[in-house]
Amino acid sequence: MTHRDPLHVLVESFFREYLQRARGASRHTVLSYSHALRLFFGFVADSTGKTAASLRIADVTAENVLAFLDHLGSCGRKASTRNLRLTALRSLCRHLLCQDPTHAGQYQRILSLPSKKVQAPVVTYLEPEEVRVLLRQPDRRKRAESRDHALLLFLYNTGARISEALAVRRNDLQLTRPFQVQLHGKGRKNRICPLWSETAKAMKRFLQDRPAAGDDHVFKSARGTALSRDGADYILQKYLRRAAEELPVLRRKHVTPHVMRHSCACALLQAGVDLSVIRDYLGHESIATTARYTKTNLDMKRRVLDAFWKHSGLTRVCNPTWRPSHDLLSFLGSL
């Protein structure tokens, strides 16, 4: 930049000093915020007839932010996407507020912009019986399908995000008692998750012929590289198609690897596990995130309804059985 306006310097310090060093934000967060700010500054440059390099602090205004958010809506972006972009801009403005207090009012106006209300989607999950049918599909005598069975069982056992499961390395696993795995979660937060003995056995089975290297990824593709998200989804869809032949109801469900995480959470709820324990098990930041599963779990709602019926003291009304009259004319005349 040829001018002395500090925008470029402050944006750079936002990423290098604030996000990465002070907050310790994950690579995913840095990339997400970088993408949001590229979109915003590109929009402002186009709408003002400037180049991105010539933008100044004076261009970071609530009016420009609102115009940018409206533009996202006109392009068909969902309210959740709009809110994500606004979150990135608010984070930048909080940094600017500390570094450049002379424009505090300008930044405060952006910070006061509200997020749009988003209707939470209904959580899709598999009932335990559906998961059992799914886990029966891989032929564990085949090497590739032995890996697939271990992956599906691991996802259901741990409730891990797919990114966490695919990032697991040999030295994260403990396949001797007590069986457990260290998961590397969002925001660089790690947690220890216990493993069922059946999960540990499945992991040992497909790993036994592979050379043991501590930093080696556990779940690999046929090429020997770390399994990708698309690869994991392909594996899941393959066995879902097989399971649907046995359980047709699965054809009506949109099942992704993340649905295995939802299924784990709902199964824990059905087993009577406390919400705070499930929060720690899944690595949620807030218990409010975990609580949404109580709104979705149909089995729990059925049990509540049954308990309500019994407590109400109502009795079922048995209507007398209707039988046809043998005297057709008498019956018609009685109507």
> What was the pLDDT predicted at 47?
96
Residue among 268, 286, 270 at smallest CA distance from 278: 268
pLDDT at 56 over 70: yes
pLDDT at 304 over 80: no
Give the DSSP per-residue string, 100-147. -GGGHHHHHHHHTPPPPP-PPPPPP---HHHHHHHHTSS-TTSHHHHH
Domains of the chain listed by start with CATH number = 7-111 (1.10.150.130), 128-306 (1.10.443.10)
The region that residue 288 occupies, defined by phi over 0 for left and psi between -120 and 50 for alpha, beta otherwise, is alpha
> What was the pLDDT predicted at 2?
46
CA 71 to chain centre: 27
Residues designated as active site? 161, 186, 258, 261, 284, 293
Q: Which segments within 160-303 are labelled E, that is strand?
A: 173-174, 180-184, 190-194
Interval 140-166 mean pLDDT: 96
pLDDT per position as a tens digit, 212-264? 677 899 999 999 999 999 999 999 999 999 999 999 999 999 999 999 999 99
pLDDT at 132 over 90: yes
Return the DSSP state at 15. Answer: I
Rg (CA), the chain: 28
Query: Encoding tokens for residue 131?
Result: 């998961």
